Amino acid sequence: MNTNFSFLQQQYPNLFAISELSEKLIYIDPSSSLAKSRLFSEKLSQLVWEFEELGEFSGSQNDRIYRLANVNVAPDIIASILHTVRKSGNKASHDGIGSFQEAHFILKKCFQLAKWFYETYEQDYIEITSYTLPEKEDTASDALSEKLEKLSKELTNYKNKIAELNKSKEEVESRKQRSDNRARNLDLTEEDTRITLIDPKLKEAGWECDTLLLNNKTNKTLPQKGRNMAIAEWPCDGKWADYALFVGTTLYAIVEAKKYASDISTNLRQSNIYAKRLVESEDFETLGKWQEYKVPFLFSTNGRDYLEQIRTKSGIWFLDIRNERSHAKPLRGWFSPKGLVDLYERDIEAENKKLELSDYDYLQDTNGLGLRDYQIEAIKNVEKNITTNFEEHRSLLVMATGTGKTRTVIGLSYRLIKSNRFKRILFLTDRKLLAQQAFGSYQDNKVEGINTFSEVYKMEYTKTLIPDSETRLHFATVQSMVKRLFYGENDGLSIDTYDCIIIDEAHRGYNLDKELDEEDLEFKNQDDYVSQYKKVIEYFNAYIIGLTATPALHTTEIFGKPVFSYSYRQAVIDGFLSDHEPPYRIKTRLSEEGILWKKGERPKVFNPETNKIEELAELEDDLLVEIEQFNKLVITPEYNRKVLQELVKQLDPDSEEKTLIFAVRDSHADMIVDMLYEEFENIGLEVPQKAIQKITGAAYDPEQLTKEYKNEKFPNIAVTVDLLTTGIDVPKICNLVFLRRVGSRILYEQMIGRATRLCPEINKEDFKIFDAVRVHEALQDYTQMKPVSNPNTSFTQLVNELDDISSDERIKTQGEQLIAKLQRKRKKIEEDSLEEFIYMAGGKEPKEVIQAIKNASAQEVKAIIKEFKGLWNYLDKKVYRPKHQLISDHADEYLGTDRDYGNAKKPEDYIENFKKFLKENQNKIAALKVIVSSPSTLDRQSLKELRLLLDQEGYNAKTLNAAWRDVKNQDIAADIIAYIRTLSLDIDLVGHEERVNRAFEKVNNMKPWNRIQQKWLDRFQKQLLAETILTKEDLDKEPFKSEGGYNRINKQFEQQLDDLLKTINDNLYVA
């Protein structure tokens, strides 16, 4: 038999024998041929798995295909062909039915797989581009079956080949590029594209679809009641639309299918023609006519998954023809039949109007959510963006940790569902614990009257895979959605399943220091977390709302600029969050000088594989490890003990105050817990058994431990790695301890956010930071939005992606990502391997390479990056991270504890710097001048703006109080106004409480006040002790508004309230 698979015979005899048998069987029993073709694809994918050294595998063929695709080994088209062959073979095996036409088509697919496989792994070129079925011969199939059985027992040893294929990272990257190129060059006809790529996706979305069977041109297929059919080749007055989508007998859409990887007409020109030329008949119904068009929805696709870099060559382009102002947009999947019907029937304009006209009063009811003014403003801004910004289907809310993001979004989502603006919302988190916490909040908090959200609308938790028609809110994790959408577990999740997605902790997936836990294992590949996370939220045809306290660069790229921001400092100034004192920096000899192994010494390392401590060879040079690598690169028990010996003097394990300690890894957390018990005992404190606990992903039942930490007295001191860094609310946390250095400002601010919540229950006034690794010092100059490249994306990957990028803007962006990655490694390169870098970069230093890329035009960037091809491979070598941790037995000693005053080295410098700032800006900043000359006229808004401005410069009352206490040895709790006047007028500093009490002593002695008036004076005094100023406008706000506000109180003071307020404020600032 003259077979097209002969190129496999020598190197892959088993594959060749299966293909030969499949070709023989097509004339005898097509269903058996289909089964053998499935076997062929299975054996081929197993070989690919082995060649790529992907480890043990125990799943199904379906699982293997999805995994090959998601580690970027099988290009999209190859994965689709593998699925097509798999499904066809399964059907033939189970039902025993298969046509000659189908078996022939599947053999063509097997040939394409074989050609791609051989050219990729043999680095050869097969000249045959299209498959030709051999003529029928009389050779007995039994003989071929025996030959195959014999070959299957003779296992081919590919050990040497595998070693050769993976001898270097350069070889692997080269093969990856070759694989993509060969896949792109496969000869796929338009029919191939429909059968292999488009049919399966339409079926997944709920349509009956089979290009060969449900075909009007070849089989006269017509729509039927009760069936949702995608009928191929539908007549349009002499032309044939590739698909017509019918719900029952009603036509909803026309689809134009293009050949794989060819350009898509993004204005859907061909579909437009079909929609105009459609000939109506009694065989089906139409929904109406829009201008000349007889169908409301148009689609165009070439079967390729959407990629932003190749917009016009990928995705499913969709146009709602009913609105003349509508523009075509790319979709990531197909609408379900119900989704298309809902889309047709919806009246967005009416829903927007209903949302705009509804009031907000019930959201501020103190018996319900009791939302604050800024939370209502946040909701209004999102709703305005939804109803007026038709181009941007996204909003980002930035609200500091502890300012009520969850309560805000409960109110927002309730309004969006109540107005029917959205039918079903997906609440997405990156952890089950956070999903559980949010679910509980929706169940517990009343939103309107006595009802909670869950009592009005149906909600589903993470265990529900597919929400039913009544579900209005569904909770899920990113990880579970990735599995359902991209790992073969998608059963009914069409793009219209949700029309709104709320993403909690939207900055996640971008923490440089985040240690992957069990839930994150799916992302340990080149298709890193951020891209998976982005793919999930972009898959659905939904409005996306991101929530975060600390936006990362990728956050704004995905969600756009914030529609509302409320910062930590704003919340502190408004009195809604706790402030912290200047951090305490615990210093030891090793933390200041580093850990030094001298030349000739033999450092010890811990080998986790053997669980033993081993000695290295003698050092050829000195080895110095500095503080940023303590507990990471080097295990240093002595340093940890010295720090904890001082820490136990500051903590009370039996108090109501909670402490959270950040460790580097699980073993480090264990060390800290043990040492804390020992050191408390050494100073004579008996610590209750459960007072100190490790709460990490590796701990037994971390969810229960977290609940106990939040709700019970013990544990009082928790040691964590990453589990409690974000999204957990424990208001009683009063102490944060950093024994872990982080390189991400975002993660650091999230960690700080664990302690910012108010807790009147224990009279919490502020919180303390104990910093033993100089993390605050290292990050204080970072901006919140500092762009840092994703460490999971290799240099070589970024370079190879340039081949698929055509726009100048995207090329420049790619160059910037390379620069960002290089900047991260630059210091280490210049210290350890500068000469080698210069050699690989053709004589250029890192800063010169960075400058060259930065200053170049887009096309020059492409050329420069390609010029340094060897350099990028070199940089991807993991030469900067040791395989094992060093063990230090160096002695250490405690040197003292300093306070961190930012740029000022000493507290007196901080005070002097503030005095200098006041002198230089008194005539430039109006509020400063008012405070110095006529403080009683200061209004609340001006004071708030001034406090924010001073805060940005690094000056606030909490830090000034600490500095004053350190310098003057006076514990005076003064406010910012007192400090401004003291340092500007050179007068004595008076504490806030003393100043308020003095003022009211004078007011109380002015005249005899009646009992009601005295009650109000006492309340004014209490309010001023909690606030800084009291104005007429304040009396129309709570806590005075509910008792009649200014007008009623003014009557009780015989219309003299304005004079009284002036008198109070004048007496507050008597020098």
Contacts of 61 (CB under 8 A, 6+ apart): 41, 42, 45, 82, 86
What confidence score (pLDDT) does residue 595 get? 92
Q: 584-779: same fold as 348-565?
A: yes
Is residue 880 very low, low, confident or very high in pLDDT (cuts 50, 70, 90)? very low
Number of helices followed by number of strands (H, E) in the chain: 43, 30
- Per-residue model confidence as pLDDT tens digits over 690-724: 999 999 877 888 888 988 999 999 999 999 987 66
- The answer to whether the CB of 1003 falls within 8 A of the CB of 1013 is no
Q: What is the CATH number that goes with domain 348-565?
A: 3.40.50.300
d(CA 963, CA 147): 88
Is residue 806 very low, low, confident or very high in pLDDT (cuts 50, 70, 90)? low
Report the relative pairing of strands 885-887 and 604-607 from DSSP bridges: antiparallel
- Per-residue model confidence as pLDDT tens digits over 810-842: 787 778 778 877 876 776 777 666 766 776 777
- The answer to whether the CB of 692 falls within 8 A of the CB of 686 is no
What confidence score (pLDDT) does residue 846 get? 85
Fill in the DSSP letter of residue 605: E
- Per-residue model confidence as pLDDT tens digits over 974-1006: 889 999 999 998 888 988 899 899 999 999 998
Output the CA–CA distances (angstroms, integers) from residue 391 to 265, 308, 353, 385, in the order listed: 21, 17, 18, 10
Contacts of 409 (CB under 8 A, 6+ apart): 397, 502, 504, 545, 547
Contacts of 1042 (CB under 8 A, 6+ apart): none
- The answer to whether the CB of 756 falls within 8 A of the CB of 400 is yes
CB atoms within 10 A of CB 467: 21
Above 50 in pLDDT, residue 1051?
Answer: yes
Rounded to 10 degrees, the C-alpha dihedral 97/100/106/108 comes to 170
- The answer to whether the CB of 984 falls within 8 A of the CB of 922 is yes
Axis crossing angle, helix 405-418 with helix 373-388, rounded to the nearest 10: 40
State phi, psi for 970 to the nearest 5 degrees: -120, 125
d(CA 87, CA 146): 26
E strand or H helix that includes residue 477: strand 471-477
d(CA 395, CA 473): 18
E strand or H helix that includes residue 625: strand 623-625
What confidence score (pLDDT) does residue 864 get? 82
Contacts of 771 (CB under 8 A, 6+ apart): 583, 584, 585, 586, 738, 777, 900
Q: Name the residue with tokens 């390392």.
A: 605
- Which span out of 77-81, 253-257, 467-471, 628-632 was modeled with the highest average pLDDT? 253-257
Task: Compute and round to an integer the Cα radius of gyration of the chain.
Answer: 34
State phi, psi for 98 to the nearest 5 degrees: -170, 135
Compute the average pLDDT of residues 166-193. 86
- Per-residue model confidence as pLDDT tens digits over 1014-1035: 999 999 999 998 888 888 888 9
Structure tokens at 134: 């051999």
What confidence score (pLDDT) does residue 609 get? 65
Structure tokens at 603: 């450092």
Please provide the average confidence, as pLDDT, over all residues in the chain. Answer: 85
**SS3 per residue for 106-172:** HHHHHHHHHHHHHHHHCCCCCCCCCCCCCCCCCCCHHHHHHHHHHHHHCCCCCHHHHHHHCCCHHHH
DSSP SS3 for 34 = helix
More confident residue, 157 or 1005: 1005
DSSP SS3 for 610 = coil
* Buried-state track 572-605, b at ≥16 Cβ within 10 A, e below 16: bbeebbbbbbbbbbbbbbbbeebbebeeeeebbb
d(CA 747, CA 429): 17
Query: Can you say how many angstroms the Cα of residue 159 is from the centroid of all Cα atoms in its chain?
Result: 40
Axis crossing angle, helix 169-184 with helix 100-121, rounded to the nearest 10: 150
- The answer to whether the CB of 1056 falls within 8 A of the CB of 1003 is no
- The answer to whether the CB of 223 falls within 8 A of the CB of 229 is yes
- Partnered with residue 396 across adjacent β-strands are 546
More confident residue, 107 or 54: 107
> Whole-model pTM?
0.74
Above 80 in pLDDT, residue 1062?
Answer: yes
d(CA 285, CA 275): 14
Degrees to nearest 5, angle at CA 74 with 68 and 75 = 135
Structure tokens at 1029: 């100023």
- Type of residue found at 101: Q
Report the relative pairing of strands 425-429 and 394-399 from DSSP bridges: unpaired
Give the residue ranges of DSSP H helices in 922-1037.
926-933, 940-952, 957-968, 976-985, 992-1004, 1011-1026
d(CA 38, CA 61): 10
State phi, psi for 1055 to the nearest 5 degrees: 65, 20
Q: Which of 853, 842, 840 is nearest to 879 (CA)?
A: 840
Structure tokens at 801: 């992606």
Fill in the DSSP letter of residue 1034: G
Structure tokens at 839: 């050699």
- The answer to whether the CB of 1024 falls within 8 A of the CB of 936 is no
Compute the average pLDDT of residues 897-922. 89
d(CA 517, CA 696): 9
- Per-residue model confidence as pLDDT tens digits over 260-305: 867 887 778 889 999 999 999 999 999 999 989 999 999 999 988 8
- Partnered with residue 398 across adjacent β-strands are 548, 565
Above 60 in pLDDT, residue 420?
Answer: yes
Above 80 in pLDDT, residue 344?
Answer: yes
* CB hemisphere CA count around 681 (13 angstroms): 9
Least confident of 79-88, 620-629, 641-650, 860-869: 860-869
- Partnered with residue 738 across adjacent β-strands are 662, 771
- Report the sign of the C-alpha dihedral through residues 450, 453, 459, 462, in that order: negative
d(CA 548, CA 568): 12
- Partnered with residue 937 across adjacent β-strands are none
What confidence score (pLDDT) does residue 50 get? 92
d(CA 534, CA 539): 8
Fill in the DSSP letter of residue 49: H
More confident residue, 234 or 988: 234
d(CA 748, CA 99): 63
Rounded to 10 degrees, the C-alpha dihedral 530/534/536/537 comes to 140
Axis crossing angle, helix 907-921 with helix 957-968, rounded to the nearest 10: 130
Domain positions in the chain are 6-184, 190-345, 348-565, 584-779, 795-876, 901-990, 994-1068
Structure tokens at 851: 């400058």
Structure tokens at 353: 């109007």
Strands (E), 364-511: 394-399, 425-429, 446-448, 451-452, 458-460, 471-477, 500-503
d(CA 101, CA 107): 10
Structure tokens at 781: 């100059």
Above 50 in pLDDT, residue 881?
Answer: no
Class assignment of domain 190-345? alpha beta
State phi, psi for 439 to the nearest 5 degrees: -55, -45
d(CA 457, CA 451): 10
User: Superfamily assignment of 584-779 in CATH?
Assistant: P-loop containing nucleotide triphosphate hydrolases (3.40.50.300)
